[in-house]
Structure 1
Amino acid sequence: MEKIHTLEDLYRHKLEFVPDYIKKDVGHFNVFKIEDFIGTTGKPIPYSRKDYYKISLVIGTNRYHYADKTIEVKQAGISFANPMIPYKLERIGEHQAGFFCVFTEDFLNQIPNIKEYLIFKPGTFPIYELDADSLLEFQHIFNQMLNELNVDYAYKYDLLRALVQQIVHKTMRLIPNESVQEKSHSANNRITSLFVELLERQFPIESSLQQMKLRIPMDFATHLSIHINHLNRALKNVTGKTTSQLIAERILQEAKTLLKHTDWNIAEIGYSLGFEDPSHFTSFFRRSVQMTPKVFRG
C-alpha cells in the first residue's frame, strides 16, 4: 500500500512545523509559492495519494501522469488534485515557478455545489494548459490569496473561498463544450477505470493490522460521488458484472494469496479483508471455492 500524504506531512517535511490551526474544524487552507518546493528536475515524483485537495498553478514544462493518461504542459498549466486519485508529476524544464494552495474537505464543503463541477468529477483529466492571458489572471488570484492569508480579518477564509471559486469558474470556461457533453459509454469506461483503481489501491495487504477501508459498493459510490445505481449500471455495462461481484472476486483473490504466502491465522486474514467475524470470512470463502480457508491452505 502506498503511503497517504497528509497536510501534517507537507508541513513537517517541507516547512518543518505543524501549525496548530491545521486541526481546527473550520477547514484548513494555505497557499505557497512553488519555488520553495522545487525538487530535482527530470526525476518523477512517485504516485501518491493525499488527504487534502490541491490546486496548482505551474509555470514551466511538466508531464502529468493521471490514471491511464499522460499530458505534457509546455509553458503553464493549472491542475486540480483529488484526495482519492493518485497522480505523478514529472518536471521536465529547468525553469519552474508558480503557486499552489491546499485545503481540507471541510474547507471545500463550505463552498456550495463546488463538487458538482466537472473539474472535481471522477474521470476528468484535471490538468489544463494556459495561454499568456489566462496565466496572468490566475497569477493575480494566487497573489490575492497570499495577501489575504496574511491579513488579520475575521472573514478572510470566506474571501479565500471566493478566490477558490474564481479559479474554478475561470478554469471551467477553458473547457470545450464537447468535453462537458460526454457520451455515455465513455463515462461508463471512466467510472469503471476509477472504480478498479480505488479497489486495487487497497492491495496488496502487507500487514495483518491493515484493513480494507472500501468494502461494500456504497463505499465506492460515495468516494466516486455518484449514486450506487449509476455505479452498478456503469460496471455492468463495461464488465458484465455487478459492483458486489467485482469486489468479491478481488477479495477472494487476495484471500488465496494471503492463505498461501503468509503465516497469519484465519481470523487475521479475515479481519484484513474486512470481515470482523472470522466465521463470516470462512462462509464467504467456502461459498466461493467450495472448501474452507484451512483446507485450501493445506
Structure 2
Amino acid sequence: MVSKVPVIEQCVVSSNVRKDIMIEDLAGYLERNKKLVFPHRHNFYHLLLFTKGGGKHTIDFETFEVVPWQIYFMSPGQIHTWSFEGEMDGYVVNFDRDFFKTFLLQPDYITLFSFFSGLVRDEVFVVKTEERSAVLALFERLRRQTVNVDFARVSLLYIFHLLEQQRDRPAVLPEDTYNHTLLRNFLNLIESNFRTLRLPKDYAALLYITPNHLNALCKQVLGISAGEIIRQRVLLEAKRLLAIKDYGISEIAYELNFNDNSYFTKFFKKGEGITPEEFRKQHT
C-alpha cells in the first residue's frame, strides 16, 4: 500500500536553479504555487515567516490562525495545507534534508532546536517584538544572497539560535548530549517501526536501555509516556491515510498492522474521540 498524499519536491516549488535551498518572498511564492492548496507532504524542510496577512494553515491536522510575525517550521513528511486570506507577505525558506550534513560535524545538529523536534506543538510560534527587526534583516539578506550557499547555512543557523533563545519556554529536547541523542534515536526508531513495534520494551531493547529508563526520559522531557508517544505516531498515520478517500478502513487497518477493523476503530476512537469514518467526513 503506497500513500497517495502528494509529495512535493523542492524543484517543483522553487523559482531558482538551486535544488538544495530556496529563499523567496511569500507573495511571489504563493503566486507561483497558488494551486498548491490541497493536502500535501514535502521531501524537504520548510519554514515560513508571516509579516502580513490572515487565514489558516494546518500541519498534521492541527490548524493555526495566521497572525503577523508568526513563524512555522515543517520537517519532511508532514502533511500541510493552507487557506490564506487578504494580502500576504513574508518569507519562505525551503532546504534539502542534507543541506547541513557536510557543513557540520554533527549531521543531525538541527534536531537540537525545539522547532525541528517533529512535534507540531513546537513548530509554530510568534517572533517576539524585540527580535523582529534582526530576523527581518537576516531573511532579506538571505533572499538576496542565495548564490552563496555557505552564507545561507551560517545565516540560517544564526536565525535558528536567535529564535530558540526567544522561546517562552525551554527547548523540548534536553540539552545534555546523551539524553538528546537517546530521545532522538527513540523518535527515529518509532518513525521506522511504528507499524510493527508497539511496545516501549521493544524500543528500549533496540536502544540498550531499560523500559523504565526510556519511560522516565519521555515523561521528563515530553510530559507523556513512551507508550503514548508510540500510540500518537500510529494515530497520526491513521489520520493521514484517512484523509485520502481512496483508502478503505480495512485497508488502513491492514497497513497499520491491526488484526481487524473493530480493533482499529476502538484504537482510533480512544485516541481521537471520534470514529475513523467521522474523522474522514470532517477532513475530506
**TM-score w.r.t. length of structure 2:** 0.57
One-letter code of the match for 1:66?
Answer: I
Cα 1:49–1:34 shift into 2, 3 Å: same
Contact kept, 8 Å, 1:141 with 1:163, in 2: the verdict is yes
Counterpart-to-counterpart distance in 1, 2:63 and 2:37: 14
Q: Hey, which bits of structure 1, 4+ residues long, moved more than 6 A? A: 233-236
1:174 positional shift:
2.2
1:141 matched to 2:141? The reply is: no
Q: Secondary structure at the match of 1:96?
A: strand
1:129 positional shift:
1.2
Counterpart-to-counterpart distance in 2, 1:77 and 1:214: 32
Contact kept, 8 Å, 1:32 with 1:101, in 2: the verdict is yes
Cα deviation, 1:186-241, whole Å, max 9, x if unaligned, reads xxxxx9xx99x979xxxxxxxxxxxxx986559xxxxxxx969759x877633998
Counterpart-to-counterpart distance in 1, 2:161 and 2:80: 23
Q: Secondary structure at the match of 1:176?
A: coil
Q: 5 Å matches for 1:1-298?
A: 1-11=4-14, 15=15, 19=17, 21-22=18-19, 28-38=20-30, 45-59=37-51, 60-92=53-85, 94-109=86-101, 110-111=103-104, 112=106, 113-123=109-119, 124-150=121-147, 156-177=148-169, 180=172, 217=197, 230=214, 237-238=227-228, 257=250
Cα 1:114–1:67 shift into 2, 3 Å: same
Contact kept, 8 Å, 1:52 with 1:82, in 2: the verdict is yes
Contact kept, 8 Å, 2:112 with 2:173, in 1: the verdict is no
Identity percentage over the alignment?
Answer: 13
Cα 1:71–1:239 shift into 2, 3 Å: closer
Contact kept, 8 Å, 1:58 with 1:78, in 2: the verdict is yes
Q: Secondary structure at the match of 1:108?
A: coil
CA root-mean-square deviation: 4.7
Q: Give structure 2 stretches of 5+ with no counterpart.
A: 175-183, 199-205, 219-223, 238-246, 261-284
Q: Secondary structure at the match of 2:39?
A: strand
Counterpart-to-counterpart distance in 2, 1:128 and 1:257: 38
Q: Give structure 1 stretches of 5+ with no counterpart.
A: 23-27, 151-155, 183-190, 200-212, 219-225, 248-253, 259-268, 275-283, 290-298
1:132 positional shift:
4.2
Contact kept, 8 Å, 2:71 with 2:125, in 1: the verdict is yes
Contact kept, 8 Å, 2:194 with 2:230, in 1: the verdict is no
1:2 positional shift:
0.8
Contact kept, 8 Å, 1:73 with 1:129, in 2: the verdict is no
Contact kept, 8 Å, 1:57 with 1:138, in 2: the verdict is no
Cα 1:239–1:215 shift into 2, 3 Å: closer
Cα 1:217–1:5 shift into 2, 3 Å: farther
Q: Secondary structure at the match of 1:56?
A: strand
One-letter code of the match for 2:38?
Answer: P
Counterpart-to-counterpart distance in 2, 1:149 and 1:239: 38
Instruction: Determine the structure 2 residue equivalent to 1:202.
Output: none
Contact kept, 8 Å, 1:45 with 1:88, in 2: the verdict is yes
Cα 1:147–1:178 shift into 2, 3 Å: closer
Q: Secondary structure at the match of 1:105?
A: coil
